[in-house]
Amino acid sequence: MTARNAPAPETVVLDPTAERKPAQRQLLERPGSLDGATIGLLDISKARGDVFLDRLEEQLVARGLRVERFRKPTFTKPAPIDLRHEISTKCDVVIEALAD
Amino acid sequence: MTAATITRPTLSDGLVAVVKRDCPTCALVAPVLADLADRLASTGQTLTVYTQDDPEFPPGVEGVDDLDLDVSYRLEIETVPTLLQIEAGAESARIVGWSRDEWRAFTGCEDLGEDLPEYRPGCGSLTLDPSRADELTVRFQGSTLRSRRVTLAALEDEMEALFDRGWTDGLPVVPPTPVRVLRMLEGTTRAPDEVVAMVPPDLVECTVEKVAINAVLAGCRPEYLPVVLAAVEAACTDDFNMHGLLATTYFSGPVVMVNGPITRAIGMNSGINALGQGNRANATIGRALQLTVRNVGGGVPGGVDRATLGNPGKYTFCFAEDEVGSPWESLSVERGFAADASTVTLFAGEGPRGVVDQLSRTPESLARSLALGLRGIAHPKLALAFDGVLVVSPEHARVFHEAGWTKARLRQEFDELLALDGTELARDAGGITEGMPEFLSGTTVPKFRDGGLLIVHAGGGAGLFSSIIGGWVSGSSGSQPTTLEIRP
C-alpha cells in the first residue's frame, strides 16, 4: 500500500462521561408519521438519480406532503456544510437517492 | 500515579548493565564490560548486558536485546550506562555513568578500566527519548485506565468528533487520548480508581481518572489536577449543593477561589485581570470542574441546568487570592485553615460586577460605597437570601490599610451599613412590588446572613475599583460556600 492510499490513523480517546450511553452515536428517532413533514430529496449527482427522485416527488406530493429538492455538486465528496445546514433547517426528513 | 504499578523484570543474580550504542560513554566502557564479563565468568558470576539500540553492541559481549525497551522501562533506567547489582532476584544497588572508582568499588575489580578517563557522565536512556516515552507510558500504564476507549473514525475530524459527542461546553476541547490522560494523572499521587465524589445531577461515582480526562479536555496541565480534584470534591458536597445550583433558573454557577502556596506554584493569576481571561491555570481549572459536572454528572444546559440567562462564568470562573500583596488575612485563613495550606473555596456565584469609587480617601466613605454596591446583590430590596463575595482591589485595600482597618473592622462597618430598614424593604415599599414580607416592617434586617459575605483581595495595582460577585440562595436551603484543602 502506498502512503497515499494508507488509511488516516484512528484516534482513540477516553470517554469523559459516566458511560451510561453507548459509545457509538445513535441514529435519530424515526418519525412516527410523515403528516405535515417537509421532505428533502437529495440528488447526489449520480446518473439517473433525478429520475428516481422525480417519481418519488410525484408520489409524495400526491400524498399532500411538502417536498424540497437538493443536489450535491458531486457524488464523490460529502455534501458541503452549507447544503447540510440548509437541509437540516428546511426539512424534517431527507431521502437520499443512491442511483447508478 | 507512580511507576509502583509496574512489575519489575526477573533478572539473574550478578551484575546487569543497560547500555546503548549511541552513547559515547557506553562506547567508552564497552571494553570494560567485555573485560568484566571475562573476569566474572572465571568466578562463576554473571554479567548480563541489555542493549537498547543495537544487539551487536557492545562487541565481545553477548548482549541481550532490549530494543522494545521493556526491561529498561521496568527497571526505570534514566541514564546509560547503568550498572545494577542483583541479589536473590532483586536489585540491591545501582550506579550510573562512568566513574572509575565507583565501578571498581561496585564490581570489586581493583584495576578495572585502567586506560579510561576517571569520569564521564552517562547519556539519557532511550526510555526517556521524547519519540519513545509516550508510547512506553501507554504500553506499560495504559491498562490502569478503566474508562471506555472510543475510537474516532479515520475520516472524522477529532475536534468535530468531540463536539458531536456532546463532550464540550461549546468551545473546542483537547482530545483525551490515553497518553494525555496518563500524563495528567502524573499530577496527583491519588490512584486513578479512587472515587472523588458523586457528581450531580446523575449522582454517579466520579474517579480521579474521570476528573483527569475532563481536565485534559479543559486544557489543564498535570500540576493543576490537585486543584481540580479538590474543586470537584467541594462542588459535590451536600453543603455546596451543585445539584440545586444546576437546576436553578438563577444565573449562578460554581466560582472557584484558590488560596495558598499552590497558586504561586502553578502560576495562577491573582493580579491584573484576575477575574478575566488569559491565564491558563485560572481558565482551565474552572472549566475542568464544569466539564466534569457536564460529562460525568450529566448536568447539561436545557437538561437539568435550567438557568434563565446563566452567566459567562459558567464556562469557567476561577481565580487566586492575592495573598502576598494583601494587608489582611486570606479568605482561607479566615475560614479556619493554616496560612500555608492550599485550599479551594467554592461559591455559587453569578457574574462579577464593578463598584467604582475613585474619590474616597477615608475608610468610612469607601465602606459606604462598597456597601451600596453589596446592597444591590439580587435586588436592593431583598436581604438574607443571597450571599456575596467582595473582591477588594489593591488600591481600595490600601485606603483601609493606611487607616489601620483590619478585615474584621471592615466587616463590622458593613454590618452596620447593611443593617437595612425592614419598612423600606417591604413589598410595595418605594412603589416596587418586589421586596421582603410585610411582617419585617419596623424591624432591622441584615443584608447578609452570618457568614454570608466573603472578602478576598485580588486585582492589578492600578484602579480604584472593586468587584462584587452575587450569590445564589444561601445557606442550607441553597448553597453554602465550601472550602477544602488541596491534597497532592
For the stretch A61-85, pLDDT in tens is 999 999 999 998 887 777 888 999 9
**Nearest in space to B323 (alpha carbons), one of B308, B337, B306, B307:** B337
Query: How far is B256 from chain A, CA to nearest CA, in Å?
Result: 21
What pLDDT, on a 0 to 100 scale, did the predictor assign at position B2? Answer: 47
Does the distance separating the beta carbons of A11 and B214 come in below 8 Å? no
Q: Which pLDDT score, from 0 to 100, does residue A2 have?
A: 44
Reply yes or no on whether the pLDDT at B191 is more than 70.
yes
Q: Are B331 and B455 in contact (CB under 8 A)?
A: yes
Q: How far is CA B437 from CA B30, B194, B249, B433, in A?
A: 90, 48, 22, 11
Cell of B4: 509502583
CA atoms in the 13 A half-sphere facing the CB of B432: 12
Res B476: pLDDT: 85
Q: CB distance A10–B204 less than 8 Å?
A: no
CA distance B296 to chain A (A): 4
B214 and A18 in contact by Cβ < 8 A? no
Residue B373 reports pLDDT greater than 70: yes
Cβ neighbours around A29 below 10 Å, total = 6
User: At residue B4, does pLDDT exceed 60?
Assistant: no
Residues of B in contact with A17 (CB under 8 A): 167, 295-296, 298
Do the Cβ atoms of B167 and A19 come within 8 Å? no
Cα separations in angstroms, B439 against B155, B376, B448: 67, 22, 18
Cβ contact, residue pair B152, A11, below 8 Å: yes
pLDDT(A38) > 60:
yes
For residue B176, is pLDDT > 60?
A: yes
pLDDT at A100: 64
Q: What pLDDT, on a 0 to 100 scale, did the predictor assign at position B63?
A: 83
DSSP per residue, B367-402: HHHHHHHHHTSS-TT--SSEEEEEEE-HHHHHHHHH
- Quick check: B138 pLDDT over 80? yes
Instruction: Mention every residue, 6+ apart, whose C-beta is less than 8 A from residue A2.
Output: none
pLDDT digits (tens, 9 = 90+) for B67-77: 999 999 999 99
Given a cut of 80, whether residue A5 has pLDDT beyond it is: no
pLDDT of residue B304: 92
The whole-model pTM stands at: 0.81
Burial pattern B317-341, b for ≥16 Cβ within 10 A else e, equals bbbbbbbeebbbebbbbbbebeeeb
Q: Quick one: cell of B401?
A: 490599610
Cell of B283: 481558565
Range with lowest mean pLDDT among B124-138, B199-213, B310-324, B373-387? B124-138
CB contact under 8 A, A16 and B153: no
- In the structure, what pLDDT confidence band is assigned to residue B1 with cuts at 50, 70 and 90? very low
Cell reading at B425: 424593604
Is residue B161 within 8 A of residue B204, CB to CB? The reply is no
What mean pLDDT do residues B31-50 have? 90
Cβ(B300)–Cβ(B294) below 8 Å: yes
Residues of A in contact with B202 (CB under 8 A): 18, 20
CB pairs A-B closer than 8 Å: 76
Which residues of chain B make contact with A26, given a CB cutoff of 8 A?
A: none
* Sign of the alpha-carbon torsion through A86, A88, A92, A96: positive
Q: Do A18 and B167 touch (CB under 8 A)?
A: no
Which pLDDT score is estimated for B5?
Answer: 63
Interface of B with A (CB under 8 A): 145, 147-155, 158, 161-162, 164-165, 167, 175-178, 181, 199, 202, 204, 206, 209-210, 213-214, 217, 291, 295-298
The pLDDT confidence band at residue A4, using thresholds 50, 70 and 90, is: low
Per-residue pLDDT, A22 = 78
Question: In this predicted structure, what is the pLDDT of residue A99?
Answer: 67
Amino acid occupying residue B135: E
Average pLDDT of chain B is 95
Asked whether the beta carbons of residue A13 and residue B153 sit closer than 8 angstroms, the reply is no
Contact at CB, B147 and A8, closer than 8 angstroms: no
Cross-chain residue pair B151–A10, CB shorter than 8 Å: yes
Pick from A7, A14, A20: CB nearest B181: A14
Q: What is the pLDDT of residues B88-109, one digit of tens each?
A: 889 999 999 999 999 999 999 9
Residue of A nearest to B207 (CA): A18
- Residue A93, SS3? strand
pLDDT value at B475 more than 90: no
Which grid coordinates are listed for B370? 462598597
| pLDDT above 50 (res B273) | yes
CB-CB contact of B396 with B464 (8 Å): yes
Query: What nine digits make up the cell of B128?
Result: 526517556
| A8 at interface of B, judged by CB pairs closer than 8 A | yes
- Selecting from B161, B176, B291 the residue whose C-beta is nearest the C-beta of A14 gives B176
pLDDT given for residue A8 in this prediction:
59
C-alpha cell at B426: 417591604
- Per-residue burial over B285-315, b if 16 or more Cβ lie within 10 Å, else e, is bbbbbbbbbbbbbbbeeeebbebeebbebbb
**What's the distance, CA B62 to chain centroid?**
48
- The whole-number pLDDT of residue B356 equals 97
pLDDT digits 0-9 by tens, B142-161:
888 999 999 998 888 999 99
Instruction: Please give the C-alpha separations between residue B349 and each of B166, B240, B391, B475, in angstroms, as whole numbers.
Output: 25, 11, 13, 13
Residue B142's closest CA among A71, A1, A47, A12?
A12
Range with the poorest average pLDDT among B43-57, B212-226, B322-336:
B43-57
The answer to whether residue A3 scores a pLDDT higher than 80 is: no
User: How far A8 CA sits from the closest chain B CA (Å)?
Assistant: 5
Helices B100-107 and B24-42, interaxial angle, to 10°?
20
- CA of residue B420 relative to chain centroid, distance: 41
Q: What share of chain A is helix, strand, coil (3-state, %, to 5)?
A: 25, 20, 50
Chain A residues in contact with B151 by the CB 8 A cut-off are 10-12
Q: Is B326 helix (H, G, I), strand (E, B) or coil?
A: coil
